Structure formats: C-alpha cells, structure tokens
Copies of this chain bind each other. A is one copy, B any other.
C-alpha cells in the first residue's frame, strides 16, 4: 500500500499538492497535476480513508442500524437506504442489533465512535430510557424510522400503524364482517401496540364487542401465523374474517385454514399487512396494506443527511399505508360459515 508520500517522491511535489489533486481543491498547474496523477496511477495509489476522515473530522458516511435481518421490511429498507446514500455520495454502514435493545444501543454508539456523519435507526427494541441517554451522549444527528416519540428527542419518520389496521378493519366491516379474528404481532413493540389498539378501537366504533377469544398474540413469521391460526380454529369460536398483523403470519394462517379444510375466502376472509410480494402469489392472493417503506427510508436518509450538514428539518413526518385489494376477502353474506354463528 503506497501512501501519499510515495506519490510525493515519485511526482517530486509536496503532500499539500498531492492532497490538492486528490480532492480537487485549490489551484494546481495542469502539468504538475498530470504528473501527480501519473504517479498515483503508477503506484496504484488510493488515499487511506481512515486518515482522510481523521484529518477532516468527517467521514462522509452515514450509519444505519436495524433490529435484525429478518422480515420483508428490511430488504426494501436496506435497498433504498443504500440507493439514497449512494445518490448522495455517502457511504452507508449497516449494523444490526441482533434484535436486542442493548446491542442496538451499543451499535449506535459504535457508529458514532466511527464518526459517522449521521445515524438512522430502525428499531423494534430500543427503550425510551436508552433514547434519553443517547440524546445526551450523541453528538451526531440520529433519526428514527417507525418510532413515535412523545418528547421531541430525535427526528422521526413514522408509519401510521394504527391507521393501517383501521383501514383494513373498515374494509372488512364494509364487507359485512363482524366477527373478525386477529393475530397480532408482539405487543412489546410500539408498532404492535398501535396496531392492536387500532383493532380494538375500530371494532368499538362499530359497536362490535371485543372478544378476546378471537385474538392470538404471536411473533411475526410464517410458522407462528400458522400455529396461532390453528389455535383459533381449535378454539371453536366462529369468525368470518381474520386479520394478521403482517403478511407472513397471514400466509401461515392461510395454510392452517387450508389444512383444516376451511376454504379461503369462501368460508373465511383473510387479510395481512406489509404488501409482501408473496401475497400476490398465494392462492388466493391476499388483500393487504402497503406501507411505503422505500419512501420513508429515503426520507429518513435525506433528513439525516440534512441534519449532518447543519440544516433544519421538520421534526417528524408520517406515511400512511394504502389498501391493496386482492382475492382473499369476500362479502360476509356470501360466506358459508365454517362454524355455526
């Protein structure tokens, strides 16, 4: 690995000059610039990013920490984050928190130790207390995706999670369903809570009494959706529709229903959330709510970048989901119940 001084010697100039041609700053006579370039070329010289960053005290990079590499979300998220960063000519450092709040917290700190210019966090786990202390410790801007804050600690980009559920329940009810089963995601996360609250609230708006036997709590995932749905079936409580809090669970539930000989959507309508590509290719294709993950991610990165440059940004922005109608929902009156009502 050749260094800047190797280039200096070969080109017969000073470090300052080489630095100038590396960065295209200041004035350099064309002839000497060419000489320097030739020298760099000949040596296969590449600046040491570490040294540059240390000297400049900025890294031209942004850090992203996600809870883990699980779910459909994060593929889109990483993809968009990567694209947005590239577009801004920034490096993107991705770290996962191994789905553990303490590790997430550490990951953020380590990103700051690396002197990222800004950090974006998409966390399911991190606690309010941790965010509070981060507020003290952090000197670089942090923006949160999918996390509503009561106090304006950090900039946030959120989804209307409650609205997503509400939209779908409304849709189901408009189709005449009233006994709507529900498989929630983990209630330990803000997202889970918001969605579950919306489920209950929306039912209440229609004066449909909440039936705890109609809801199962599960971790996201195909198998968990399957299992939860089996429990529902074995519970022998009639329902004409089923909302799973994400598409994977909905897909698992579909399988459970099918295995049990209950036909979807003829006997029970099902719905999910996320607009997982697979919902389009299951039989029946599953109605779902599309959450604009890419847009939100792009926006979060943009905000982080602006903040890094010292600009000011709106403190929070929210994205809404949109209903995607497919084949898994039929009007209630045409459903042949799988269990007596």
Are A78 and B69 touching (Cβ within 8 A)? Answer: yes
A201 at the interface (CB under 8 A from B): no
Supposing A96-B82, A281-B251, A281-B252 touch, asked if A114 and B68 sit within 8 A by C-beta, the answer is: no
Task: Pick from B96, B115, B278: contact of A278, CB below 8 A.
Answer: B278
Instruction: Report yes or no: A49 in contact with B79, Cβ–Cβ below 8 A.
Output: no
Query: Which of A47, A69, A222, A283 has the most chain B CB within a 10 Å cutoff?
Result: A69
Q: Which residues of A (54-87) have their CB < 8 Å from a CB of B?
A: 54, 59, 68-70, 74-75, 78-79, 82-83, 86
Chain B residues with CB under 8 A of A79: 68-70, 96
In the complex, whether A282 has a CB less than 8 A from a CB of chain B is yes
Q: How far is the CA of A34 from the CA of B68 in the complex (A)?
A: 36
Which chain B positions have C-beta within 8 A of A114? 49-50
Residues of B within 8 A of A48 (CB): 54, 113, 115
A1 and B139 form a contact (CB under 8 A): yes
Q: Which residues does chain B contribute within 8 Å of A54, judged by CB atoms?
A: 48, 50-51, 54
Of all chain B residues, the one with the shortest Cβ separation from A1 is B139
Interface string of A124-160 (1 = CB under 8 A from B): 0000000000001101000000000000000000000
Q: Is A20 an interface residue (CB 8 A)?
A: no
Q: Given A50-B50, A50-B114, A115-B48: A255 and B226 within 8 A (CB)?
A: no
Residue numbers in B under 8 Å from A69 (CB-CB): 75, 78-79, 82
- Name A113's contact: one of B46, B83, B137 (CB within 8 Å): B46
How many copies of the chain does the oligomer comprise?
2
Q: Is A280 an interface residue (CB 8 A)?
A: yes
Main SS at interface, chain A: helix
Q: Which residues of B have CB within 8 Å of A280?
A: 222-223
A69-B82, A70-B79, A98-B83 known; A46-B281 Cβ under 8 A: no
Indicate if A94 sits at the interface (CB-CB under 8 A). yes
Collect the chain B residues with CB atoms within 8 Å of residue A115's CB: 48-50
Among A95-135, those with CB < 8 Å from B are 95-96, 98, 109-110, 112-115
Find chain B residues with CB under 8 A from A75 CB: 69-70, 74-75
Q: Does residue A93 face the partner (Cβ distance < 8 Å to B)?
A: yes
Which residues on the B side are within 8 Å of A74 (C-beta)?
75
In the complex, chain B residues whose CB is within 8 Å of the CB of A113: 46-49
Known: A44-B136, A54-B54, A69-B75. 20 other contacts (CB 8 A): A1-B139, A44-B137, A46-B112, A48-B54, A49-B114, A49-B115, A50-B50, A50-B53, A50-B59, A69-B78, A79-B96, A82-B96, A91-B110, A93-B93, A222-B280, A222-B281, A223-B281, A255-B282, A255-B283, A283-B283
**A residues at B contact (CB < 8 Å):** 1, 44, 46-51, 53-54, 59, 68-70, 74-75, 78-79, 82-83, 86, 91-96, 98, 109-110, 112-115, 136-137, 139, 222-223, 226, 251-252, 254-255, 258, 277-278, 280-283
| 25 A-B contacts (beta carbon < 8 Å) | A1-B139, A44-B137, A46-B113, A48-B54, A48-B113, A49-B110, A49-B115, A50-B50, A50-B115, A69-B82, A70-B79, A78-B96, A82-B98, A86-B98, A91-B95, A92-B95, A93-B93, A222-B280, A222-B281, A223-B281, A254-B283, A255-B282, A255-B283, A282-B282, A283-B283
